[in-house]
Chain A
Amino acid sequence: DTAVSQTPKYLVTQMGNDKSIKCEQNLGHDTMYWYKQDSKKFLKIMFSYNNKELIINETVPNRFSPKSPDKAHLNLHINSLELGDSAVYFCASSQDEGSGANVLTFGAGSRLTVL
C-alpha cells in the first residue's frame, strides 16, 4: 500500500494547455504539501494544506491552483502551461503530533514536461 501516491507519474504536454496532478495519502496525516524540484534539483515549497485549509502559499504564479477536497487529497491544477513549468512535482504529507510529527513522507513525483 503506497502511503503517498501521485498521478500521473509522467506528463508531457504543449504550452498553453491546462493539466492536473493528483495526490492521495492513506497515512491519516493532517498536512499535505506540493513541492517543485527543478532541473538543478532545487526543492521549493509551493503550497501546504492543513485539514483542507490552505496555510502556505509561496510565491507561485496564480496559474497554479491547489485543491483539497478532503484531508487525504491534495490536487494541483496548472493553467496555461509554460516551458518553465517543466519540473518534477512532489506531493508530501506530515502529521502534526506524535513521534513522527514534522517528518515529510513524499510521493514518487510527477515529471511534467512542457513542449
Chain B
Amino acid sequence: AQRVTQPEKLLSVFKGAPVELKCNYSYSGSPELFWYVQYSRQRLQLLLRHISRESIKGFTADLNKGETSFHLKKPFAQEEDSAMYYCALWNSGGYQKVTFGTGTKLQVIP
C-alpha cells in the first residue's frame, strides 16, 4: 500500500534561514509526487510536482528514489512561507488516488 510520511508536525525557522521539509514515501510503482501548500484561511493549492523539475517561490524538491524521499527545500525562508505543507503521492497504477502525508506546519519567525 502506498504511504507518505512527513515526520515533522511543526518546523520553526528564522527568516533568512534554510528550510527543509521532509517527505518519505513507500510505493511499489513509479511514483509521481507533489507538494501542496495551504496558507492561512486559503484553499490547498499545488506548490510543485516532481516531473516539472521547477522552482516555485524559491522552493525546490528532488525525487530521490534510492532514499524514497521528496524533501522540499528553500535556501532562505521568508515570512510569507508560513503555511501548512503537504507531500502527496499519486497512485498511477489503477485508479486515480492521491495520498497525502500528515502535513508539516512551517512557521517562519521574523
Contact = CB atoms under 8 A, between A and B. Distances in A.
Binding between chains A and B: yes
Interface of A: 31, 33, 35, 40-45, 48, 50, 55-56, 90, 92, 94, 96, 102-109
B11 interface: no
A96 B96 contact: yes
A33 B91 CA distance: 14
B59 interface: no
A41 B96 contact: no
A26 to B, nearest CB: 15
Contacts, number: 56
Interface of B: 32, 34, 36, 42-46, 49, 84, 86, 88, 90, 92, 95-100, 102-103, 105
Contacts of A106: 43-45
Contact of A56 (B32, B42, B88, B97): B97
